[in-house]
Amino acid sequence: MQAKPLSLLIAAAFAACGAHAVVTPQMIDNDARSTEDVLSWGIGTQGQRYSPLKTINTGNVARLVPAWSFSFGGEKQRGQESQPVLHNGKMFVTASYSRLFALDAATGKKLWKYEHRLPDGIMPCCDVINRGAALYDNLVIFATLDAQLVALNQDTGDVVWKEKIDDYHAGYSASAAPIIAGGLLLTGVSGGEFGVVGRVEARDPKTGALVWVRPTVEGHMGTTYDADGNPKDNGITGTVNKSWPGDLWKTGGAATWLGGTYDAKTGLAYFGTGNPAPWNSHLRQGDNLYSCSTVAIDVKTGQIKWHYQSTPNDGWDFDGVNEFVTFDMDGRRVGAKADRNGFFYVNDASTGQLLNAFPFVKTITWATGIDLKTGRPNFVPENRPGDPTAGADGKKGNVVLAAPSFLGGKNQMPMAYSPDTKLFYVPSNEWAMEIWNEPIAYKKGAAYLGAGFTIKTLHDDYIGALRAVDPKSGKIVWEAKNNAPLWGGVLTTGGNLVFWGTPEGYLQAADAKSGKIVWKFQTGSGIVAPPITWQDKGEQYVAVVSGWGGAVPLWGGEVAKKVNYLEQGGSVWVFKLVR
Ligand code: CA
Ligand code: CA
């Protein structure tokens, strides 16, 4: 780590000489403001997904037309949840089955392709998706379904380094976009339905060498590594068995499967954690820390600075993985999260103190609200799925109809925040589930749920709703309903626009203040990915990946049947204004 300042100086010198600059930590910290590149998932590590660009605006968006489209090709379609990144005129976009394409951002011409060789027996829970890559120096780095990290040369696509995160036979996989925070590569793990142990890992992005590892299940050791790669004990997270009974913490879940955000101002990385394992909550009385939480980690030390648990002793698979997006409110740095459990939370970004919490979906059955003093939900005990051992045959607990469904008031699709309107734009869904508990024991590499379920619709005319949410008042300022469940992310711009895609195939834009839909385009397959925007030689571009899939067709019960007419695909669409 000693040599870093020198390498940064050299990079800065290259930039000053006009040579092709490599991506530096400073450029990544400035990503949200630099409009000619998109260096990180979230369009800036804070995850606001806001661009100050206003060349395209409410007055001229009707003239937005395709500039080019690129097909991922082959028979490998399925869900495309990727956000492209962009640097030096090159677009880097990941695709299903752990593929990565480098494209000329001006023309869509393919520069190179990397296809990861996936073994048989991988266990991705929720389709063969990938959410995007990270850029650092001359590398493009992404995670694969067999739980590896691969760093490729941006110019040639050659593999520079490859590291195994964990054992895919034990249910580990990886699909989130890594982020660069404080010069470190941060990644999480997927596999919460298989009793994995969630964690956040920091690596040297140039070599892949581990710097620290911080598990997100209370009781597990954190580890730091010296320059020679020797591990050093870094203290446990909390107290063994304080919030878990028996040995259940050893296979506790809390997977960090959506990755994280980072705020250079607080020096903290924010990772959401998934469900505690197994789903049957009666087996694990207690809060089951740090499941279903936001965990704020000091990137310099790997220590958990604070945590906030949205669903203690979760019994509904309300993964708390959703992105924690930092912003300024009343002169204070805060962060917001629209949780899968249906509530929207605002916490102090430095301390975690809960400042506000309110529903962003209309039907919530499991809690009546959030106590702002204690930070805890006011549970509805009769809406917790029953204990199977209490039943006559001991095989099935009481069935409850709970909302939101475990697919969430919001799922993997990231929201956006506009500092102009001071509103969050939240892709939300209204649906419910029948859920019940069953006996279960942990077995390596097998599903570890102890529950059964069916997803149900609540309304005939809509499931999805893009909602403009005021984080101060808790009011929904406007909403745009959608027949199918929304599963793509959101982009907002200085042009007073909000862009998002629908499973029906449209990329569309609304007036950010009024919610009036002012433009849409049919991409030919469902959109389950977040759009981006950038400018090049004075031209503003908008891009989105199209390709229906993800968790809904696999797990969606009655909803999956309702939307089974939607076709698969796999392509990038890029738009610009016609003159
Ligand atoms: Ca940028
Ligand atoms: Ca889960």
pTM score, whole prediction: 0.96
* Residue 574 CA, ligand 1 centroid: distance in Å: 17
pLDDT at residue 6, rounded to an integer: 52
Ligand nearest to the CA of 53: 1
pLDDT at residue 14, rounded to an integer: 47
Q: Give the tens place of pLDDT for each residue, 158-206.
A: 999 999 999 999 999 999 999 999 999 999 999 999 999 999 999 999 9
The proportion of the chain whose per-residue pLDDT surpasses 90, expressed as a percent, equals 93
Report the distance separating Cα 99 and Cα 117, nearest Å.
9
pLDDT at residue 237, rounded to an integer: 86
Domains of the chain with CATH codes:
23-577 (2.140.10.10)
pLDDT at residue 198, rounded to an integer: 98
The answer on pLDDT for 295 being more than 70 is yes
Ligand nearest to the CA of 52: 1
Q: Return the structure tokens found at 203.
A: 């690596």
Three-state DSSP class for 22? coil
In this prediction, residues 351-379 reach a mean pLDDT of: 98
Which residues, 6 or more positions from 353, have their beta carbon under 8 angstroms from its beta carbon? 347
* Contact assessment for residue 525 and residue 507, using Cβ atoms and an 8 Å cutoff: no
How many helical (H) and strand (E) elements, i.e. helices and strands, does the chain have?
Answer: 4, 40
Residue type, 296: A
> DSSP secondary-structure letter at 23?
B
Q: Give the tens place of pLDDT for each residue, 395-420.
A: 999 999 999 999 999 999 999 999 99
The mean of the pLDDT values for the chain is 95
In this prediction, residues 376-393 reach a mean pLDDT of: 94
Q: Return the structure tokens found at 137.
A: 């120096």
Nearest CA-CA partner of 416 in 468, 471, 492: 492
Ligand nearest to the CA of 43: 1
Report the distance separating Cα 177 and Cα 379, nearest Å.
34
Three-state DSSP class for 15? helix
Ligand nearest to the CA of 85: 1
Report the distance separating Cα 394 and Cα 389, nearest Å.
4
Q: Which residue has the tokens 């040579």?
A: 19
Q: Give the tens place of pLDDT for each residue, 224-263.
A: 999 899 999 888 888 899 999 999 999 999 999 999 999 9
Buried b or exposed e, range 347-370, using 16+ CB within 10 angstroms:
bbbbebebbbbbbbbbebbbbeeb
* Residue 448 CA, ligand 2 centroid: distance in Å: 10
Nearest CA-CA partner of 382 in 443, 445, 449, 315: 315
Give yes or no: 29 in active site: no
The answer on pLDDT for 85 being more than 70 is yes
The answer on pLDDT for 15 being more than 60 is no
pLDDT at residue 393, rounded to an integer: 87
Phi, psi (degrees; rounded to nearest 5) at 351: -115, -20
Residue type, 386: G
* Residue 535 CA, ligand 1 centroid: distance in Å: 10
Report the distance separating Cα 201 and Cα 189, nearest Å.
9
Q: Give the tens place of pLDDT for each residue, 63-72.
A: 999 999 999 9
Q: Which residue has the tokens 């990644």?
A: 187
* Residue 29 CA, ligand 2 centroid: distance in Å: 31
* Contact assessment for residue 400 and residue 435, using Cβ atoms and an 8 Å cutoff: yes
Report the distance separating Cα 492 and Cα 479, nearest Å.
15
Report the distance separating Cα 114 and Cα 490, nearest Å.
27
* Residue 358 CA, ligand 2 centroid: distance in Å: 22
* Residue 13 CA, ligand 2 centroid: distance in Å: 46
Q: Give the tens place of pLDDT for each residue, 434-446.
A: 999 999 999 999 9
The answer on pLDDT for 476 being more than 60 is yes
The answer on pLDDT for 542 being more than 80 is yes
Q: Give the tens place of pLDDT for each residue, 267-294.
A: 999 999 999 999 999 999 999 999 999 9
Instruction: Kindly write down the DSSP assignment for every residue of 45-74, as one continuous string.
Output: TT---EE---SS-TTTGGGEEEEEEEE--S
In this prediction, residues 419-438 reach a mean pLDDT of: 98
* Residue 44 CA, ligand 2 centroid: distance in Å: 26
Confidence of residue 1 (pLDDT cuts 50, 70, 90): very low
In this prediction, residues 209-235 reach a mean pLDDT of: 93
* Residue 274 CA, ligand 2 centroid: distance in Å: 6
pLDDT at residue 3, rounded to an integer: 46
Report the distance separating Cα 293 and Cα 29, nearest Å.
25
Q: Give the tens place of pLDDT for each residue, 546-576.
A: 999 999 999 999 999 999 999 999 999 999 9
The answer on pLDDT for 362 being more than 80 is yes
Using DSSP bridges, classify how beta strands 354-359 and 400-402 pair: parallel, antiparallel or unpaired: unpaired
Among 18-27, 132-141, 385-394, 430-439, the minimum mean pLDDT is found in 18-27
Report the distance separating Cα 8 and Cα 185, nearest Å.
16
Ligand nearest to the CA of 314: 2
pLDDT at residue 20, rounded to an integer: 65
- Listed in sequence order, the DSSP H helices in 52-119 are none
Annotated catalytic residue within 31, 314, 317, 339: 317
> How big is the chain by its Cα radius of gyration, in Å?
22
